[in-house]
Each structure stands twice: as C-alpha cells, then as structure tokens.
Structure 1
C-alpha cells in the first residue's frame, strides 16, 4: 500500500532478523567469483533517520538495533558483521540512521553484482533512486515488485537472490508472497528466495510458514530454512506484532549454524517478556 512508510519501524527487532539473514545470504553468494543478481521487491527508501519524527513516534529501534549497536565486539561473528554494516552507515559513530535492505546490499554487493530494486511509494522511490544512482549494474523501478519477477527470473547471471518483505497491511500480500515464491522457483528453481513475514494472531500470518514450506518442498532444489523470533506478546485484544519470521528457499548450507549461533543472544537482548523465544528449522535436500 502506498500509505505504508517503513520509517516508522526502521531498526526494530524485525529489521534485525531480516537484515541479519540478508547479510549472511549475500556474504555467501559473494564467495564465488561469478556475479549474481539481487532482486528486492519492496525496497523502501534505502535508509532512515532514527532521529526523525517517523522513527521517533514509537522509537522501535530502541528495542531493536540499539540493543546491539554499542557491543559489536561482544557479538557472534555473523551478528557482528551485520551490526558493523549499520555502524558503517553512521560514520560519526552515533546511531542516527538505519540502513534498509538496499543499503545493506550496497555495502555487500560487488560492482559486478546486479541489483534490481522495486519501490512503489513515490517519495521512497525518489530517495532510493538518488541514493543508488552511482552504483553500477543497478536499476531502481517504481513498478510492482511482485509483477516484476517474471521479467527478472531467470536472471542473466543465473545465480540470483530474491527478497520479498511487503508490509502485509492488506491480507492479499500473504497470497501474493506465496504465489511469487512458486513463480520464482518455477522459473529458476535454484534461486535463493527470502520471505519476511510478521508474527501476528491472524490466520494468514499463522499459516504462511506452513504454506511456504509446502511450496518449497515441491520446487526448491536445495530445500528450505525457517526462522522465527518472538520478542513480545499480543495486547489484551490479541493485536500487535509479537515477532517476525524469515523463510528461505534454497538457503546457503552455512545459514542454519550461523543463525543458531546468534538467536539465543537475540532472544536475550531483544526479548521483551520472559517467554521470548525462537524457532529454527530446516529441510535440506
């Protein structure tokens, strides 16, 4: 939806999980000399001020990245790598800006790697296009990222990663994500597909991971991995985001162990109640 602005949520616990996974996937793909393509279907503005009025409304970054930012030397290596990227986005050392997924990619991708970023919101698209205008092998589009999958896959680089993290403000996003996963794997069965989703007491949310697993079982050449981080409880009416999850089709074989090293600390640092927990499960092929 064009009303959605990620700036309200930048740097929260969901961003920490999403961008930790994204960083590990891109690091792994960069280990081979051959270039690859990253397709970001809901790219956002690229970066966000945590001092601005949007981020300050609920200060969600305070229970997310701020819990890790000053302790990079004490973190497990995969988590430290991600946090260091956030620190690199703040050259004066103070946490003032949070990098979105295109900025994470801008740090990690090589000049020979391709970036295809899609963002419908006109203001965020304009900011993102300006931020990435000097990056080689990059296209920023204001078209629908879901609809673009047919044009992007299979990629001319053959190796590709796809990130989908819609706002889920409308229930149809759940069905669109599922359809997009199936289409991506049908067109390029070895694509690394990353799907972020919110953990809500909503039928579509509670069923999504199971439905994604079933689709990946049928089409992903290298299996799947599912991780969920629960940090808080729903309110008395059953509303509110309790945590979030990432589903990865064709995950790097290193990803499970890297996340297993980081998740206990994330529960400890980001958990907001005694029942905070994580789920980490994988089906390898």
Structure 2
C-alpha cells in the first residue's frame, strides 16, 4: 500500500467529504445520548499544507484554499470553515484537519471514536496526533476488518445505539475497491443496523459507477442517499473529476440540508461543466 493522503489533503474531494462529515456529526450530537464513530481509513488525521507532499501536488489550492477565499455563506460550509479555523489556531496557519481530527472536534466528551490505519508509519503518526485525547482509540489495522471487530460498538458497559461509520479507502484497486467497501457496509449494517454509514468514492466517468449505484440501492438499509460534486465534466477516465458520498440511514431531510451546500461548493470550486447531485437511491420510508 503506497497511498499517502498528505499529497491530496484539502483537495475538492476532501472539501465535500468533510462538509458532509461535520453535518452528520452535528445531526448525531443534536441528541444527548452518547454516540460512536468509526473511521476505517484514518491516515494521519492532521496535515500541513505547506509540507513537501501537499506542495508537490498543489491540490489544496483548488480545494480548501479556493473555498476559504470564496467563503460561501451556506451554513454547512461555514461550519466547515470554522473547523478549519479552529484547527489552525491549534496547529498553525497551514494545518488541515483529516477526518479523525474533525470527528474529535465535532463530537463530545461522552462520545467515543475509533480510527484505523493500516500503514505502520501513518498509524504511528495518527496515534501521536491523538495521544492526549482519551475519547479516541487508534487501531493499526485493516479498516474493513475493523468493521467486524468493533461493531456493534461498546465502551465498557456502555453500548452505543447511535453513531457513524466513515469508510474512505484510497481506491488503489480502482473499481474493485467498491466491492470491498460494499462488503464492509453489508457487514456493518448486519451488526449495527441503526448506525449511519458514509462511503466516500471518486468519480472519473460516472457511467462506470452504474453497477455500484445498483448494488448500493439494494443494501439492507432504511435509506440510501448519494451526494456528489463534480468540479469538471466526467469525460476522462484518467483523472478524478469529482467525488461522492454514499449515505446509508442518513438523518431526516439531510438531502434538503445538503443540496444548497453542494450548489455553493460547485460554484466556488467548479470549472466549466461542473455539476452537483443529491439523489435518493432508496428513499426513506
């Protein structure tokens, strides 16, 4: 496994993923009961956009840098930008938070987080980054296998009825990764049917994803929602033209809350031919 997210931190895909992630966290914390979050591919959880990896690709310039400059007034995006500001106040002007940091920022003292990372070096950095937070357990292990090992979640005698599983794989296996991710989702739903599941996926050619959409619609969940941001037309299989989030058991009216945010991200980050999409593959009952 050679993937390092540091090369891509803060790009347009991260913007979409993290805006949605924070909105899901806010839906969870709107109720007082403790909740649990599992991040299956946590990487190092915190990045420096002035570091060698980020500077080499420059992807953040067309992602978080552009969004900060535009500063859309949409509430979900403002929530995200406030988290970026909080991260930079704590870690420096060029810091960028990964999903474990955002989970720790958004969730509460009574909540618990498990973050997994398979790559040994990245897992060690992840552990060091969150060594002072007792809410977070870092697991140097395969995130897909962790779904079976850690669900249904419990902490001591506490069992969590509510929570989130974030699956954000590197897609080194290209389209074959979708099968592994969907298998993990099926396992998670069988073990924790009331949990929310969120899968991030890249979009090169959307028509190539039709089998994935059909399989996602058939999952044994109360609902299946896709939220997508294309920053350019999906006319090339050689580059990532956009990305999406598949949400199983999404919060009530989450599509309506996210649609304006998708439009604002498209306007701020998109080139000619950019598009956004919010669609139920399976509508909630």
Q: TM-score, normalised by structure 2?
A: 0.92
Find the counterpart in structure 1 of residue 278 from structure 2.
280
Moved over 6 A (4+): none
Pairs within 5 Å for 1:197-212? 197-201=201-205, 205-212=209-216
> Unpaired segments of 5 or more residues in structure 2?
154-158
Unpaired runs of 5+ in structure 1? none
Deviation of residue 278 (structure 1)? 0.8
Task: Show the 5 A alignment for 1:1-285.
Answer: 2-72=1-71, 74-91=72-89, 95-155=93-153, 156-171=159-174, 172-201=176-205, 205-215=209-219, 219-221=220-222, 223-233=223-233, 238-272=237-271, 274-282=272-280, 283-285=283-285
Q: RMSD of aligned C-alpha atoms?
A: 1.9
Distance in 2, matches of 1:60 and 1:232, equals 14
Residues of 2 paired with 1:247 and 1:147: CA distance? 20
In structure 2, the CA distance between the partners of 1:94 and 1:46, relative to structure 1 (3 Å rule), is closer
Question: Is 1:200–1:206's contact at 8 Å kept on the other side of the alignment?
Answer: no
C-alpha displacement of 1:201: 3.0
CA distance in structure 1 between the aligned counterparts of 2:273 and 2:215, rounded to whole angstroms: 26
Quick one: distance in 1 between partners of 2:202 and 2:8?
Answer: 12
Deviation at 1:228, TM superposition (A): 0.9
Distance 1:246-1:183 versus aligned 2 partners, 3 A rule:
same
Number of corresponding residues: 277
Change beyond 3 A, Cα 1:70–1:275:
closer
Cα offset, 1:158, TM superposition: 2.0
TM-score (norm 1): 0.92
Distance in 1 separating the partners of 2:234 and 2:46? 28
Pairwise CA distance, 1:138? 1.9
Give the deviation of 1:281 after TM superposition. Answer: 0.8
Shift of 1:211: 1.8
Q: Distance in 2 between matches of 1:60 and 1:112?
A: 36
Report deviation, 1:234: 5.7
